[in-house]
Amino acid sequence: MEYMAELKKNSKPSPPTKYTKVYRPKGHKSDGRIISWAYFNDLSCYAIKREKGIQYFRYPHDFKTLPAFEVNQLARLKLLYSESSGLSEWFERQLQYEYRKKWVNFKPQIPTRYIHKEKVHPVTKKPLIVLKWKPPTIMKKIPLRKMIQDFSDQFKWWYYDGRTGEAVIVLCKEGSWETIRVFDPLWLTNLSEQDVTTLYKCQPFFEVADIDQALQYVKVIRICFAFDIHAGVNWKTRTKEMLKTN
């Protein structure tokens, strides 16, 4: 507790959301503030959840390609599911250690400074200094996680957990309660056809402040229901049908 209190005491407010708009690598869009991050042992990758999109990282050293102010924020957040891998637990501790020591060994990306040739500061009248970051090293393809199939007869409700940034599906069978936590909304495309219908008919619970994030899961389920997308579907065939419909 004292350790986490020290991190919180030394923490600084995160920069405005506009700074993260530099993340627009080809074929992938994600921006906004960081909500949470996690390690998935079955997928062998890390993931950062933002307000608009999720970034997947294969190796710990890939986080060096993030700006320093964002790595600072990761050090102040709990890495979800780190207990599933000794490497991820070590990386979480190492990141917090480097944060306290001002990045001695693990050095995040340093932006390139440019002097703007046209714009000037409104007060000092000097040319503006522009900081540019390179796109981070992320995975090119979104890994789909295997989901529990045919749970409709056990389904009770589902809700959005604002603390971890996940959708939580609550199940109960013969007095035994179980939850399915969904970090990425696109993982819902890997549910069975019956389970997609079940979630479509039942709206999730969420706090008013989390409405934008919760609706991302709702939108995916609606698309799955409308275009008959579920586990076992031939995506190439389904995509062609969707293009013909549009």
For residues 116 and 127, the answer to whether their CB atoms sit within 8 Å is yes
Residue 113 shares a structural domain with residue 55: yes
Residue 74 shares a structural domain with residue 159: no
Residue 4 maps to a domain: no
Q: In whole angstroms, what separates CA 78 from the centre of its chain?
A: 13
Biggest distance spanned by C-alpha atoms of the chain: 72
Residue 159 maps to a domain: yes
pLDDT at 235: 66
Residue 74 shares a structural domain with residue 106: yes
Q: Which of 203, 198, 224, 227 is nearest to 215 (CA)?
A: 203
- Mean pLDDT on 172-179: 94
Spatial distance between the Cα atoms of 151 and 146, rounded to a whole number of angstroms:
14
Spatial distance between the Cα atoms of 96 and 102, rounded to a whole number of angstroms:
10
Q: Is the pLDDT of residue 63 over 90?
A: yes
Residue 166 maps to a domain: yes
Higher model confidence: residue 114 or residue 143? Answer: 143
> Each residue of 17-28: pLDDT tens digit?
333 333 333 334
Helix (H) or strand (E) holding 61: none
For residues 224 and 182, the answer to whether their CB atoms sit within 8 Å is no
How many Å is the Cα radius of gyration of the chain? 21
Buried-exposed string 215-228: b where 16+ CB fall within 10 A, e elsewhere: ebbbebbeebbeee
Residue 41 shares a structural domain with residue 114: yes
Residue 146 maps to a domain: no
Q: pTM here? A: 0.80
Q: Is the pLDDT of residue 134 over 80?
A: yes
- Mean pLDDT on 121-137: 82
Residues listed for the chain? 246
Task: Average the pLDDT over each of 45-49, 59-63, 119-123, 147-151 and give the range with the smallest value.
Answer: 119-123
Residue 6 maps to a domain: no
Q: Is the pLDDT of residue 241 over 50?
A: yes
Q: Is the pLDDT of residue 195 over 80?
A: yes
Residue 114 shares a structural domain with residue 60: yes
Q: Which two tokens stand for residue 177?
A: 């309660």
Residue 170 shares a structural domain with residue 92: no
Residue 31 shares a structural domain with residue 119: yes
Residue 104 shares a structural domain with residue 45: yes
> Each residue of 27-58: pLDDT tens digit?
344 578 899 999 999 999 999 999 989 999 99
Spatial distance between the Cα atoms of 72 and 52, rounded to a whole number of angstroms:
20
Q: Given 66, 100, 132, which residue is the final one in a domain? A: 132
Spatial distance between the Cα atoms of 158 and 203, rounded to a whole number of angstroms:
8
Residue 207 maps to a domain: yes
Q: Which two tokens stand for residue 68?
A: 């320093």
- Mean pLDDT on 119-134: 80
Residue 199 maps to a domain: yes
Residue 165 maps to a domain: yes
Residue 58 shares a structural domain with residue 166: no
Report the alpha-carbon angle 22-27-29, nearest 5: 40
Residue 159 shares a structural domain with residue 94: no
Residue 185 shares a structural domain with residue 77: no
> Each residue of 207-217: pLDDT tens digit?
999 999 999 99
Q: Given 73, 97, 132, which residue is the final one in a domain? A: 132
Residue 25 shares a structural domain with residue 117: yes
Structural domain span for residue 184: 152-245
Query: Could you give the number of structural domains in the chain?
Result: 2
